[in-house]
Amino acid sequence: MRRFNAIATALLVILAACKNGNSENKVPGEEKTKLSVPPKIVDLTHSFSDETVYWVTSREFELDTVFEGHTDKGYYYSAFNFTTAEHGGTHLDAPIHFAENRQSVDQVPLEKLVGPAVKIDVSSNALNNRDYLITKEDFIDWETKNNMQLPQGVIVLLETGHSRYYPDKEKYLGTAKRGEAAVKKLHFPGISTEAANWLVEERNINAIGIDTPSIDYGQSEDFESHVILLGQNIPAFENLTNLEELPAYGFQVVALPMKIEGGSGAPLRIIALLEH
């Protein structure tokens, strides 16, 4: 009987393969594997270069050549050293960045960095107001429009539309100047304190990302949204791009930072996998 069942199973596999084409060119499970591959991958990361936008008091990206060219052995070889601050370009803010005794970069669970995500588009308001504060109502409006609450453990991405100005510092940051004096000249949208508190108290999200230099708006002096969200071990992704290519929901995010032990932040390669 066991042998009969095995034979019957094998025949069913062969018949199924024949139904979908030449069985000699099919591998059992092949069609299922193909269907599981996302039809589109969207890169949400700005490249790192001498144009990368950093906080006005942070060390900018530098790439030094160790060797580039043909060696005396005849083969081509290139190698470089890079130096940079943790916080600049597309990067991760680890909770310890603004919350004592919270997770550092290497301690952030991968479950917080990889998973289902939603996009909330506030560009209609933010593009007309460089100091726009994303409100609790922006989140509630998204829920109403999409007939759902923010799912538990979701990654939330906020589209302000300001990534279109990157890497023009004057347009993106509000100033091209650097140093402490330039901090007062920063103008870009961020999350209001009320909205940050609402996310913590009323919703249970895994991470939050934005297409501006900071989840706090440019004129913030106390970085309260950082304190609130990172204080609950909710990491933040900053300086994202290409959010306009994403739907409101129905996609996955993979956000993998350089694993810096004890780091408060790190360069980030983040992508979205579209399911439909």
What are the average pLDDT values for consecutive 10-residue runs of the chain, which has 276 residues?
40 40 47 60 98 97 97 97 97 98 98 98 97 98 98 98 98 97 97 98 98 98 98 98 97 98 98 88
What is the per-residue pLDDT for 276?
A: 65
Residues with Cβ within 8 Å of residue 44, at least 6 apart in sequence: 90, 157, 209, 237, 240, 241, 242, 243, 253, 270, 271, 272
The pTM of this model reads 0.85
| 195-200 contact pairs (CB < 8 A, 24+) | 195/133, 195/134, 195/135, 195/136, 195/138, 195/139, 195/225, 196/224, 196/225, 196/228, 196/229, 197/228, 198/136, 198/139, 199/139, 199/156, 199/229, 199/234, 200/228, 200/229, 200/232, 200/234
Bridge partners (DSSP) of residue 236 are 93, 208
| 97-100 contact pairs (CB < 8 A, 24+) | 97/226, 97/230, 97/264, 97/265, 98/223, 98/226, 98/227, 98/230, 98/231, 99/227, 99/230, 99/231, 99/233
What is the per-residue pLDDT for 99?
A: 97
How is residue 153 written in tokens?
């453990």
What is the per-residue pLDDT for 214?
A: 98
**Structural domains in the chain plus CATH codes:** 40-58+85-274 (3.50.30.50)
What is the per-residue pLDDT for 8?
A: 40
What is the per-residue pLDDT for 275?
A: 77
Q: Which residue has the tokens 């589209």?
A: 159
Sign of CA dihedral 175, 176, 178, 181: negative
